[in-house]
Structure 1
């Protein structure tokens, strides 16, 4: 394990099925993330990004290898990891506040403390005025903000995000990126993020990991030296365009290889 790593993925393999029908999704995937680091996984479609995130979340078991959080092996879902998916996964019959409160039911908190923490996290994502609204009364971006508030409410060690803004329109997506980077810059979270959007990956991350075609492994590691706080004006900076070009070239190489 890398010294001081919050998350370590060691020689991870994942195979679906047996015999001639087996599909090798991941092979020898290896990386670590430091405390308070924001790292994004990118790669061609089907390269295993979401499978890898599911294994880190404890929702899938690896065929071989291991995932460690602060040196302890992941053996299933746990409250040390918060997860946000592209689908909002909110309970439609509960209000925004109640959806966040539901995540706190096993925290051993008093009813008033649960309410206070739920309101604190809805305020963090700018939804304090919509605490009593149900999901069908909220826009897509607002629902995703509730999902983020819920994932952060029980204070996980690591936040895992799988294409969380993929279903949003371009403007809402940009606003959500700004919201997320603002929360990260204020609260210094450890984040593993999955996206197919290279600009998004560069904009939000400290480091971008490019995966190979299936079976997925880490092909390239691209550091992002943009200063923080981030702003949309940075999208035309050389410090943004250079890592973007590196990531696109690595993905292009994998795409050409797949075509051949």
Structure 2
């Protein structure tokens, strides 16, 4: 059974000159169990809105969003969410930020302490458990955010430009860390990004969006695990160029 299924999804907002401004128009998308799918497209095409709806953070006009065949009713511990902003509570340490999320998910005190430490070690921050967010670099903060999202064992990880605010070197390190975690623990990932190279490097499939609609779904048939050197191959470059060409096409030609 597919882990995440989006059927005939329509989302609109009120508009002054028109009755409604449709931002997602009859979206159909299925993410299989343990599949890594990136969503790419020009700014304003609706990709972040799509992820927010899948997270249960936004409502929609019609259609359905299902996890393992059951319609979602809002946010849930079956879905972990990571945004570009780190959203850490500054008055809590790295470990306490994760413990806070675990307690909210129903774990008891001792379970929360143990799981928080386990997941900090998973993202290679075991020695930074007692540091405050202000003492952490951007990449470290995002690793805490990923550890927090994974700590309550979601079936699906939803990530919206999670590395967009990081420098190039840190971003590359975070991409490799994410792949290590995904290959080890195997969960379904929906990953929104503006970075085409990042999408090709990480994904099993790339969903290319034009405003309000899916333009094309592209399989990424590259070896796994993926060494960084794969980004220098002709096959990688061809996939990257294809995605770029689709996104940059004029709308009337798309």
Q: TM-score range by the shorter chain?
A: over 0.9
| TM-score, structure 2 as length reference | 0.96
2:237 to 231, 237, 241: 241
Query: SS at 1:20's partner residue?
Result: coil
Counterparts of 2:72 and 2:240, CA distance in 1: 32
Match of 1:218 in 2: 214
Match of 2:176 in 1: 178
Residue pair 1:222, 1:246 contacting (<8 A) in 2 also: no
2:50 to 35, 49, 52: 52
Match of 1:200 in 2: 198
The list of structure 1 runs, each at least 4 consecutive aligned residues, that deviate by more than 4 angstroms after superposition, is none
Match of 2:145 in 1: 147
Counterparts of 1:19 and 1:13, CA distance in 2: 19
Q: Describe the superposition over 1:147-192 as per-residue Cα deviations: whole angstroms up to 9, x where unpaired.
A: 0000000001100000000000111000000000110011111000
1:8 to 5, 8, 15: 5
Counterparts of 1:165 and 1:232, CA distance in 2: 17
Unpaired segments of 5 or more residues in structure 2? Answer: none
Aligned length: 253
Residue 135 of structure 1 and its aligned partner are, at CA, apart by 0.4
Greater alpha carbon shift after TM alignment, 219-228 vs 159-168: 219-228
Query: SS at 1:8's partner residue?
Result: strand
Residue 24 of structure 1 and its aligned partner are, at CA, apart by 1.2
Q: Describe the superposition over 1:112-152 as per-residue Cα deviations: whole angstroms up to 9, x where unpaired.
A: 22111110000000000000001000000000000000000
Residue 232 of structure 1 and its aligned partner are, at CA, apart by 1.5
Counterparts of 1:43 and 1:94, CA distance in 2: 36
Residue 109 of structure 1 and its aligned partner are, at CA, apart by 3.5
Query: SS at 2:216's partner residue?
Result: strand
Unpaired segments of 5 or more residues in structure 1? Answer: none
Alignment of 1:37-186 (within 5 A): 37-186=35-184
Residue pair 1:40, 1:209 contacting (<8 A) in 2 also: yes
After superposition, the CA RMSD in angstroms is 1.6
